[in-house]
Amino acid sequence: MAFPLTAFNTAPRRFFIFPAVLLISFLLIFSNGFITAAESTCSVPKRWEDFNAKNPMKIGVRDGPGFHMFVKKNESEDPKDKTDDYTGFSIDVFKEIVEILKKKHPRFDYEFVPCNCSNNDELVTQVSDKISDAAIGDVSILFNRSKYVDFTQPYMESELALIVPVKSKEKTWKFLEPFTMTMWVVTFAILIYTMFIVLVLEQGSNPAFRGSWKNQLGTSLWFTFSSLFFAHREKIHSNYTRVVLTVWLFIVLILTSSYTANLSSMLTAKRLEPNTADIQWLKKNNATVGCGIASFSKNYLKDELKFQPENIKLLRTQQDYESAFKNNTITAALLEVESGKLLIKGQCKIYTFSETVHEKRGGLGFVFPKGSPLTANVSQAILALVEKGRLKDLEDKLFQPFIKCSNGTAIETASLSLKSFLGLYATFLATSILCVLLFLFQLLLKKYRDRWSNLRISPSSGV
């Protein structure tokens, strides 16, 4: 039985028209939503031309806990001018960079947007979440942060350092420090050597150096020792002894003058040393270490150095560190070197850097969104500031009190070594040996003449 071709073709078409329309509508809606989501998640990075007076770059800054020398809130006289609301080292560096960039992008404009952040991690998060176009401040370049944002070339080096109180460096045997141990031993040996030289040269002609061997040694030793203070009273008969003593007294004059000058320098210049030994000492004694509430040093103390949480004290401001040290709440503080300099400046007689903990970091850099083309331009501007020396000038301005404190700190006076007096001692030894040889030669010549005279007299007396 044959079916009509028209009936077979029209019925299925009517049956499948409605589902096909639904499928096509669903695909269009899904593709439109996917494209919209992709556009929202993969936005095109902004360029310098995108920022102007009407649409300024929003730069996140944090004026929260910590040291305010990098970013500090400043009450501007002009409430409409949001570029002068903040001051500090990081702000000054960024303004120098803007001056360089405006040569190519004269319409570029920006404004500082305060971030109600408790630490720099939250400030970085605002950039990654596109709340801010960039972020500046004392933000350290860390591996975990670089996963979500881009950092510029570091405009300041950064490393962790231990800050500890100082104590006076006093020693019981400080009077021995002007000379090294080798210098003392050699000087004592030269003193004994001079004693025997004087005894050899004076024994034959000087009654004061005669008698028992105990009397001879005692007199020679007393004479040589008293010559150190130019207090010897025994008369000298031999010209050879006078030559030896002339060189010896010159050496004594140089030694006493050098000793007095070096000892005076050591006593006048008060030397300071760290009050604690090192990190291991702090851990062994369960000492409390302070760190910034907005810094990553807390995690470093806990995870890397294995400090107990109860031995970590979180502090907010510079005044908190000073109060904690005065009240003995903390024994040491782990800070970035830049913050440590700000704490020490003007107080180098109270605090100092410990040389035991120095962990290199990536430095301080400006923060931009991931893949931003602006990062490379700012990095080039930072390098230009470094080459011109402008960045160094800004650092010196920031740490000027610390530089003065460092220059005013007494430099530890070094002990005088044998090398400084080797020429004098060599001259004395050569002179004394020559005098002894001449004395022995004269003595042998005298004995030879006496014996020859006796031989000449003996035959004549026999006749």
Last residue of a domain, one of 106, 124, 157: 157
132/182 same-domain check? no
Name residue 335's beta-bridge partners. Answer: 161
Residue 162 lies in a domain: no
Q: Summarize pLDDT for 228-275 with one digit per residue, the tens.
A: 777 777 778 888 888 998 898 899 899 999 998 888 887 776 555 556
Q: Categorize the per-residue pLDDT at 408 as very low, low, confident or very high, splitting at 50, 70 and 90.
A: very low
Residue 410 lies in a domain: no
As given in the structure block, the two tokens for residue 87 are: 């001051």
142/52 same-domain check? yes
Residue 144 CA to residue 125 CA, distance in Å, equals: 12
Number of structural domains the chain divides into: 2
Residue 98 lies in a domain: yes
149/187 same-domain check? no
Half-sphere exposure (Cβ direction) of 131: Cα atoms closer than 13 Å: 14
**Is the predicted pLDDT of residue 382 greater than 90, yes or no?**
yes
b/e map 211-233, b = 16+ CB within 10 Å: eeeeebeebbbebbeebbeeebe
Q: Whole-model pTM? A: 0.56
Residue 433 lies in a domain: yes
Last residue of a domain, one of 102, 131, 157: 157
Residue 254 lies in a domain: yes
Tell me the CATH number at 110. 3.40.190.10
Residues of the domain holding 429: 174-270+416-451
231/191 same-domain check? yes
Q: What is the DSSP letter of 398?
A: H
Task: Please identify which residue in the block is written with the tokens 């019981």.
Answer: 172
Burial of 436 (0-12, 13-18, 19+ CB in 10 A): middle
Q: Summarize pLDDT for 167-222 with one digit per residue, the tens.
A: 666 677 878 888 999 999 999 999 899 888 888 888 777 787 777 878 888 888 88
184/241 same-domain check? yes
User: 3-state SS of the chain: helix, strand, coil percent to 5?
Assistant: 55, 15, 30
Residue 217 CA to residue 181 CA, distance in Å, equals: 26
Say which amino acid occupies 407. N
234/259 same-domain check? yes
Q: Summarize pLDDT for 29-46 with one digit per residue, the tens.
A: 544 444 444 444 445 567
DSSP string, 269-318: S--EEESS--HHHHHHTT--EEEETTSTHHHIIIIIS---GGGEEEE-SH
